[in-house]
Structure formats: structure tokens, C-alpha cells
Copies of this chain bind each other. A is one copy, B any other.
């Protein structure tokens, strides 16, 4: 997905929020805002937003000298998600369609996104999303591809959401590789977060190599690219991964909640809609 003009104030807002979490030093926060402001002229609008995000979050790390500003927040989100895990497992087990309920839960986890949302209430969002109609619902195609799949590549998004991903992975019944970011960026899941979420028990964990808040193939490592090209089924969670991969050539199933107007417009859905969208179906 290309960058829209509306993304630019959002970059500034994200830069402010992350710098504020990283440091109390007002001079450093002003420097972050100054540097992002000076970048605007040269932002390539044909690039995806997380490619610019990659540069912005790198600048924030350099200026604040804080490698992982969301570390404690991620821990707290994983802890909260783990506390909900037993109840959610019950919901899946009692469901008439356990796979679909697990998909809904995995999408509900996607609200734990500190790039877009300042505030969210995971318990409230779960209630809504467990009942909400899908705006795009390529479920039959998903089940078909899942039935025929021998290998699944699952692209993680945020820490905390990762616990809800575990619930879905447990319903897939196939070998899953779960890919995370190479380094901390916003509250995205890295290897340590995936392990803290218990994902090492149900999937092979790999780093995509991406330092952006998204799967950007040009930033990914060889091992990931090999898996991405050859997996029978690719599940992509969240907005960032959609932004990065919406134009790729292979079949991908996107699961996300449209949390900003730009993504909603791009998908031709409304803000807060939930989506199970297939591209390049064979």
C-alpha cells in the first residue's frame, strides 16, 4: 500500500508518542519531532508507510538512545492476554465453529496496536469482535487452502496479540512457522515476546529480518524469504503487514481490524471493520 498524505500527520503523532514514552527529556523529544518534520519533503509517497516508519523509529532510537521504549508495556500486554487465555480457549472449544471463533479472537488481539491506538480495552473489543460481521470474509477460500496446506507461515504483529495468535495456531492443526520483527519497533512482537506468549510451544519461531513495523520483503532475511515464497498458506496479521504486503504476488490471507481511515479506504471498508481478506488466490 502506498503512503497517503493523511499518513504524514500520523507519522508525527506516532513519533511524538514513542519519543514521550522513551524519554522525559523535552529537548530530545523536540529533536525527534524536528527530524521527522524535516523528513516530510523526501518521504517517497510510492513507498509503503512502514518503510517510512522504519526510518522514523530508527531515528527515535538514535536520538533517545532507548532501544525498546515499549518493553514494559509489551510485558504488561502479554500478561493481560495470558490471563484471558483460559477463558478464550473455553470459548473456542464450546463454539459451533472453533476455527472461526479462533480467527475472531486473533483479530480481536490486533487492537493491541500502539502505533495506531492510544487507548484500547481488550476485554471490550473481544466482546464486540466475537459477534461482529466481517466486512470482507474469504473464509471458504481460507478453509480450502488450510485443508491442503502442509506448511503455514504466520506473520505476527503486536506483542500481546501474539497470545491470541497462539489460540488460532492451536486450531490450525498444521505445522506453523511464526515470524516476528528483527528488533523492537513500536510494540511489535520480537522473539522474546513470542516466547513469553508461549508461541514456542506451538510454532517454529523465526525473525523475518524486518526492522520496520511490518513485513517489508526488501528488509527481510533470506531464510524468511524462502519460507514466504514456499509456504502453502501465509496468514498475515494486522495493518502494518497489510501495508507491507498488499501488493505482493503470492497468495496471502490478511486478518485485521481496520483501525485507521487510510487502511479502511484502501480496503474499501469502514473504520473498525474486521477483515479476513485473500489476495492472489490460486
Contact = CB atoms under 8 A, between A and B. Distances in A.
A29 interface: yes
Interface stretch (A5-13, A81-89, A237-245): A5-13
Interface in A1-35: 5-6, 8-9, 12-13, 15-16, 20, 26, 29-30, 33-34
A41 interface: yes
Contacts of A140: none
A36 interface: yes
Contact of A12 (B8, B34, B41): B8
A225 interface: no
A40 interface: yes
A33 B41 CA distance: 8
Contacts of A34: 40-41
Which of A9, A16, A34, A45 has the most C-beta atoms of chain B within 10 angstroms of its own C-beta? A9
A5 B16 contact: yes
A198 interface: no
Which of A5, A34, A38, A40 has the most C-beta atoms of chain B within 10 angstroms of its own C-beta? A40
Given A5-B30, A9-B9, A13-B13, A41 B38 contact: yes
A37 interface: yes
Contacts of A16: 5-6, 8-9
A39 interface: yes
Given A8-B12, A9-B16, A20-B5, A40 B33 contact: yes
Contact of A13 (B9, B40, B45): B9
A91 to B, nearest CB: 34
Contacts of A36: 37
Contacts of A20: 5-6
A128 B40 CA distance: 40
A128 to B, nearest CB: 20
A25 to B, nearest CB: 11
16 contacts: A5-B29, A5-B30, A6-B16, A8-B33, A8-B37, A9-B9, A9-B12, A9-B13, A9-B16, A9-B33, A12-B12, A12-B13, A12-B37, A13-B13, A38-B38, A38-B40
Q: Which 3 A-B pairs have the closest CB atoms?
A: A37-B37, A37-B40, A9-B13
